[in-house]
Structure 1
Amino acid sequence: MGTVIDVHTHMLNDKWLQTILDHGGRYSLKELGGQRVIHYDGAPFMTLMDGMFDYQNRIEAMDKAGVDIAVVSLTCPSVYWGGEEVSTATAQMMNDDMANQQSNYPDRIRWFATLPWQYSEKAVQELERASRMGALGVFVSASISGASLTDPSFAAVWNAIDRLEMPVLVHPGAPPGVAEMDMERFNLVFSVGFMFDTTLAIARMIFDGFFDRYENIKIIACHAGGALPYLVGRFDTAFEKMPPCREIISERPSSYYNRLYFDSISYTQEALELCLNVAGSEKLLYGSDYPHNVGDMEGCLSRVEALPSNVQNAVKGGNAIKLFGL
């Protein structure tokens, strides 16, 4: 059957939660529908689930679902909300915790590094430390405090990641304009805002020549890439018909999709198959979004198992083994 590796799955801890409540400014904790929910500018952002704080609970859930290894990461808003000292210390604390949990569950847990991206010198130092501690890759939000991932202020961090050849999980957060676009209503941050955040971030990377500058970086686009699989033809048409789209890159945007990996969190079989057709069988990775309230290890795995039999094992874990060198 092959090894099943979950590349999109999260863990928090109590210290992170208390720190964001003490220092997070625009983030607050409220009760909603009987559950604790982190809010951003008054809009629901993330429902806190018991599984986010309990690794033994996670292992039991993995056993039930048939998942062998979880590559865990912190989730948004990560550590992008504090001053330099607080954000750096919180990133260090999360990396220490995940490294310790890998030691506790050496056959089951691997992890993505958390970095204080907004403080580039500290971020590079923590990246190098986390790499020495065993981090397999790096977690980053699709935008950081309103800045795009191609902002020159992040160049030193990207250079270091490129040198270390570490895969990067690009994860959405609340995009700029939540209040202006009335995304608080109907929790549109989740259903639309997150997908827009990922799509815009990686589209900008492509058109900005990011993948030409950083030839060793491989990007994992969360939630089946947002709208990226659907928009690939539109990007190529824009490149062919609109001169501004050719200011930096000389190849069609679709040619850069070979630098992208996509997780399998698609919510429907049809969307997953579109992603497979666009990305190719070697670039699709199993992910679950566990333990979010929308996470579903078993459901996401069942959709992978409904793919053609000749690609199932690659998507379940074979591609991740190659990507991370496991």
Structure 2
Amino acid sequence: MTVIDIHTHMVNEEWLDMLLKHSDGKYAVGDVPGGHKAVYKGGTAFMTLTDGMFDYEGRIRAMDAAGVDVSVISLTCPNVFWGGSAVSLRAAQIVNDDMAAAQRRYPDRVRFFASVPWQYPEEAVGELDRACRQGAVGVMVLANIDGASLTDPRFAEVWNEIDRRELPVLVHPASPPGLEEMDLDRFHLVWSIGFTFDTTLALSRMIMDGFFDRYPNLKIIGGHAGGYLPFVVTRLDKGFQSFESCREKIARPPSSYLSQIYVDSIVYDARTLHATLDIMGADNVLYGTDFPHKNGKMEEIIELVDALPQHQSAKIFGANADRIFDLS
């Protein structure tokens, strides 16, 4: 059985240097408890840096130890959504070139999601084409693009191109707008609550805005089990039944769109994984780990998925990814 990890990250020093130099002070690196460094937005540490994020040889060793065959790697937040057009495009090129080089070095083990400067659609479409020619098998986007919703009309050109290419898109959380007002800097609630809220809001808005009718070829993958989407979709359905405004863009219940949405298995608990499977279906759950973040343990998620009936675990570990990605 091939095990394919579709939610796993890498960064590089050049990208990090650009982030700190060109984000106009929005992002900084500082200490966090435990002796680690983290990327801060304002006073909130939202992305802890680990050695594994910079070490491809170490990644392959960790994959071997865990029993993971293929990693579909991506950048993490804040991606390249923080500079002017030239800076953001250059940051995307740096990341995509680095990941393409890793794919060439480990052709049987590594694939990658392209990062593109979504806030500059013309540059984003051009970089998407270039990254795909280098071997990108999908696209990464954050659940908000520097505070803007993914359904904002300014991004339509990018979505049209992704839809035309029928590429999988990993929707990954970022620090949600209103971070400071929600007091998410304490207790690392930006990670546990803020990120999952950000993903839930993005996916729910896409459903309610008719995204899956306008872009029928989309293969959206919601990170961290789609946030709370599996657990609030019945509330979306109730809103659709009860309020005219919920029927502004769609003519069928929100839950009917779940077949067009994939989620990963990063849930940490068997009860939550079973609930996710009950709502989303085994055909729409993919193995993901968040490695090498501090919370991202490949072995833990393998153990969770391996405890499922074999007809479900086989789909999650690799069969579903084989179906929606071109990993040849």
TM-score interval (norm. to shorter): over 0.9
Give CA-to-partner distance per residue, 1:31-62, whole Å, 9 cap, x none. 12211111111101111000000000000000
RMSD, aligned α-carbons? 0.7
1:26 counterpart letter in structure 2: K
1:13 counterpart letter in structure 2: N
Distance in 2 between the 1:23 and 1:270 partners? 43
Residue of structure 2 in register with 1:149 after alignment? 150
Distance in 1 between the 2:120 and 2:169 partners? 18
Residue of structure 2 in register with 1:211 after alignment? 212
Residue of structure 2 in register with 1:28 after alignment? 28
User: Cα offset for 1:325?
Assistant: 2.8
Residue of structure 1 in register with 2:58 after alignment? 57
1:64 counterpart letter in structure 2: A
Distance in 2 between the 1:242 and 1:267 partners? 35
Q: Which range moved further: 51-60 or 228-237?
A: 228-237
Residue of structure 2 in register with 1:95 after alignment? 96
Residue of structure 1 in register with 2:300 after alignment? 299
Residue of structure 2 in register with 1:13 after alignment? 12
Structure 1 portions without partners, runs of 5+? none
User: Cα offset for 1:187?
Assistant: 1.3
Distance in 1 between the 2:131 and 2:45 partners? 31
Distance in 2 between the 1:233 and 1:177 partners? 26
Q: Could you tell me the percent identity over the aligned residues? A: 56
Map 1:259-270; keep pairs closer than 5 Å.
259-270=260-271
Map 1:310-325; keep pairs closer than 5 Å.
310-325=311-326
User: Cα offset for 1:186?
Assistant: 1.2
1:276 pairs with 2:277? yes
2:121 counterpart letter in structure 1: S
Give CA-to-partner distance per residue, 1:117-158, whole Å, 9 cap, x none. 000000000011111111100000000111000000100000
Equivalent position SS for 2:236:
helix
Residue of structure 1 in register with 2:79 after alignment? 78
Residue of structure 2 in register with 1:172 after alignment? 173
Give CA-to-partner distance per residue, 1:63-104, whole Å, 9 cap, x none. 000000000000010000111111001101111111110000
Equivalent position SS for 1:170:
strand
Distance in 2 between the 1:300 and 1:220 partners? 17
Give CA-to-partner distance per residue, 1:294-325, whole Å, 9 cap, x none. 10100011100011221111110111011103
Equivalent position SS for 1:148:
coil
User: Where in structure 1 do 4 or more consecutive aligned residues deviate above 3 Å?
Assistant: none
Equivalent position SS for 1:8:
strand
Q: Which range moved further: 25-34 or 7-16?
A: 25-34
Give CA-to-partner distance per residue, 1:222-274, whole Å, 9 cap, x none. 00110001011111111011110001100110010011001000011111111
1:81 counterpart letter in structure 2: W
**Aligned residue pairs, count:** 325
1:231 counterpart letter in structure 2: V
Distance in 1 between the 2:164 and 2:47 partners? 34
1:118 counterpart letter in structure 2: Q
Equivalent position SS for 1:160:
helix
Structure 2 portions without partners, runs of 5+? none
Residue of structure 2 in register with 1:4 after alignment? 3
Distance in 2 between the 1:247 and 1:47 partners? 40
Map 1:245-264; keep pairs closer than 5 Å.
245-264=246-265
- TM-score when normalising by structure 2: 0.98
1:11 counterpart letter in structure 2: M
1:27 counterpart letter in structure 2: Y
Residue of structure 2 in register with 1:125 after alignment? 126
